[in-house]
Amino acid sequence: MIGVYIVTAFILIGAVLMVVFSHHRFFKMTSSTSGEVVRSEQREVRDENERRDETVVSVRYTVHGKPYEIERVMRGRLADRLTPGRKVVIRYNPAEPDMADLAL
C-alpha cells in the first residue's frame, strides 16, 4: 500500500516539474544564431551593502531576415572580452525571436 503512495507522489512531483519547466523562459529558447556585439560598457554599481562591476552589452542578430537587438546586463568585468564587432552565439525562442539571450 505504501508503494502506491510513493508511486503517486513521484507522478505528481514529475507533473509539477514538467509544468514549471515548460513555462520557464530558458527552456523555450531552443534555436541559436550568430550575433554581433554592438556596444559593451563596463560600470561600477554601489549601494549601501556592496560594490559590484557590471557589463552592459548590446547585440544585434538576425532571424529569418528580420533584425533584432538585445541588451543584457551581466555581473563582472566582461567588456574587454565582449568588444564591439565580436561574434557571439544567441539562443532564441523560434516562436518569439525577440525572446533571446547570449549563450556565453
pLDDT, one tens digit per residue, over 33-68 is: 999 999 999 988 888 888 889 999 999 999 999 999
Residue 86: the pLDDT is 94
Residue 38: the pLDDT is 96
User: What is the Cα–Cα distance from 65 to 49, expressed in whole angstroms?
Assistant: 45
Residue 61: the pLDDT is 96
pLDDT, one tens digit per residue, over 63-92 is: 999 999 999 999 888 888 999 999 999 999
- CA 41, 68, 36, 73 torsion: positive or negative? positive
Q: What predicted TM-score, i.e. pTM, was given to this entire model? A: 0.68
DSSP state of 89: E
Name the β-bridge partners of 51.
46
- CA 35, 40, 42, 46 torsion: positive or negative? negative
